[in-house]
Amino acid sequence: MSSFTTRPEVLGRFGVVTSTHWIASAVGMGILEKGGNAFDAAVATGLVLQVVEPHLNGPGGDLPALLYSADSGKVEVICAQGTAPAGASIEHYTAQGLEVIPGDGLLATVIPGAFDGWMLMLRDYGSMPLAEVLAPAIFYAESGHPVLPRVADTIAEMAEFFRKEWPTSFATWLPGGSAPEAHSNVRNPVLADCWKRILKEASVKSDRQEQIELARHAFYRGFVAEQIDTWLQSAEVMDASNERHKAVLNADDLAGWQATVEAPLTMDYEGWSVSKTGPWGQGPVLLQSLALLKDIGIGSMDACGADFVHHVVEAMKLSYADREVYYGDPDFTDVPLKTLLSDEYNRQRRALIGSTASMDLRPGIVAGYEQQVEQTLAVIESISATDQAVYEPTMAHLSDKRGDTVHIDVIDRHGNMVSVTPSGGWLQSSPTIPGLGFCLNSRAQMYWLKPGLASSLVPGRRPRTTLTPTIALHEDGAAMAFGTPGGDQQDQWQLAFFLRHVHHCNNLQQVIDQPLFHTSHFPSSFYPRARQSGSMMVEETIGEDVLAELKKRGHQITRADAWTIGRLTAARREPDGLLKAAATPRLMQAYAIGR
């Protein structure tokens, strides 16, 4: 294995920050330098990412965060995934002739959760004043930043649609009537003014926590919620269904919701305790995949060889099939996680992994869930041939126009850790709200419009999101935070990263640099919800011999150009306090910083 890496693995003892944009990583490190902890740094980093990667996340989006507190010694989950509005019934959508929820526009919106999630993290785990943490985001929104080529391309591609259908977005992103050039200075003064007004209203109190509470109030029960509600009462906009629709979200929905803290779901693997979100996210698929691969000899396989890739992909096909049938908001559906993660269940499922690629979607049958399995498979099969024909694997491959996600990992000198994957509120997914400078999310597209399924649309239910950060703690005292954007591919890329790191290579950057792969064998979580049976996308740098062998085994191979799959970042703390961090070179924008 070559020792060359595209970037150094960052080492230090004071702190490390790694994220999907160099400016955001630098901001997070600056917060650590000022005496903030990992939680303060993560919030500041996340708010800046809303400005510099607005095609991937925004204030109207959502996030799950995994946190490790050095004081408590516990991993916890912040769920800032907004729920379906009270008026979001299946009947409301099907009455408009819809079989699936559009992937953009106003019908796709659930309650925006990101702002409350960041405020909850800052209030309960952070130490710095709101004004200090929000200041960098306000600076870049007000003064501008060198816009990423992909942001500029996205705006250019959407320009005519914005002009014709979403004029508020046209005014925000093409203020002079033309799209910005790559690396030109792009500002969002309306968003800056929104944040400054939140700070002004919060400043009537001197106590740090009271100020944060007032900021939450301003967003969910004050002027932000009022502006959202006023605009939505009359807005009727074009979406992916080629029809104009109104939203179901209103001020009462925002006023009645807040982010929550819950325990993670965990799995032990090779001395590591791996923590993920519950089944309202797709995180348990990584744990199921680990359970399937425990006794398969994965550690003896070449980490970039055909055997490794084949077995990892076949395991993921099985765990993702279970995702489709069983995962959903556990407040609304009984998810049989104890069975899905059990040794006996996975022993039986492991026997399904053969020497050739599977072409069938094969969920496990858990006693008492037979009807749910049958109904879910029937819905998947009902996706029309037309949808299949126009399907492009959303987030499966880096693209300019489709939305995606961002990711942040932070570890401070005390050992506090954050892994968080914010998303939603993409500039291309929903019109900009006048007077606020941001747009709403499109997370509702992940619900099924058929009753009785684990992720059917129900008012108050969380969508089964793809957002899935990871924290892993080793029995020797080591700890790690990692994750990636990428929709349905997030846990696939993380699984390959984790297995390679645990079994083959201790250098985080070297592992991240290795060729990546994934499958779209299961239904996409995104509109139009189609699947590609037996598919596998692989970076060509894995080698011609490996590609040929995988094709021989029956995998439907799509060759990806070098350095085009995945956006992994990772940070690790050794038992002696040494900190490490790494970031993908893909897209040439993610960066790890530390000292």
Structure confidence by residue, pLDDT tens digits, 391-423: 343 333 333 345 789 999 999 999 999 999 999
Q: What is the mean pLDDT of residues 258-275?
A: 98
Q: Are residues 330 and 441 in the same domain?
A: no
Q: Are residues 149 and 118 in the same domain?
A: yes
> Is residue 87 situated within a structural domain?
yes
pLDDT at 191: 98
Q: Are residues 182 and 46 in the same domain?
A: yes
> Is residue 353 situated within a structural domain?
yes
pLDDT at 397: 33
% pLDDT > 90, the chain: 94
- How many separate domains does the chain show? 2
> Is residue 157 situated within a structural domain?
yes
% pLDDT > 70, the chain: 96
Q: What is the mean pLDDT of residues 188-193?
A: 98
Q: What is the mean pLDDT of residues 81-102?
A: 96
pLDDT at 391: 37
pLDDT at 1: 47
Q: Are residues 395 and 408 in the same domain?
A: no
Q: What is the pLDDT of residues 55-73, one digit of tens each?
A: 999 999 999 999 999 999 9
- pLDDT classification of 2: cutoffs 50, 70, 90: low
> Is residue 5 situated within a structural domain?
no
> Is residue 580 situated within a structural domain?
yes
Q: Are residues 377 and 323 in the same domain?
A: yes
> Is residue 459 situated within a structural domain?
no
Q: State the residue range of the domain holding 166.
A: 33-259+403-446
> Is residue 6 situated within a structural domain?
no
Q: How far is CA 371 from CA 151, 333, 361, in A?
A: 45, 14, 16
Q: What is the mean pLDDT of residues 499-527?
A: 96
Q: What is the pLDDT of residues 101-129, one digit of tens each?
A: 999 999 999 999 999 999 999 999 999 99
Q: Are residues 434 and 517 in the same domain?
A: no
Q: Are residues 249 and 385 in the same domain?
A: no
Q: Which of 378, 412, 446 is the last residue of a domain?
A: 446
Q: Are residues 364 and 430 in the same domain?
A: no
pLDDT at 3: 81
Q: What is the DSSP string of 39-106?
A: HHHHHHHHHHHHHH-TTTB-TBSBEEEEEEETTTTEEEEEEE-PPPPTT--HHHHHTTT-SS--SSSS
pLDDT at 49: 98
Q: Which of 379, 413, 446 is the last residue of a domain?
A: 446
Q: What is the mean pLDDT of residues 528-532?
A: 88
Q: Are residues 383 and 410 in the same domain?
A: no
Q: Are residues 230 and 335 in the same domain?
A: no
> Is residue 16 situated within a structural domain?
no
Average pLDDT taken over every residue of the chain: 95
Q: Are residues 470 and 560 in the same domain?
A: yes
- pLDDT classification of 383: cutoffs 50, 70, 90: confident
With vertex at residue 468, the alpha carbon angle to CA 466 and CA 473, rounded to the nearest 5 degrees, is 160
Burial readout 418-446 (b: 16 or more C-beta within 10 A, e: otherwise): bbbbbbbbbbbbbbbbebbbbbbbbbbbb
Q: What is the C-alpha separation between 413 and 530, in angstroms, rounded?
A: 45
Q: Are residues 252 and 372 in the same domain?
A: no
Q: What is the mean pLDDT of residues 536-542?
A: 98
pLDDT at 402: 59
CATH number at residue 589: 3.60.20.40
Q: Which of 413, 446, 479 is the last residue of a domain?
A: 446
Q: What is the C-alpha separation between 490 and 567, in angstroms, rounded?
A: 9
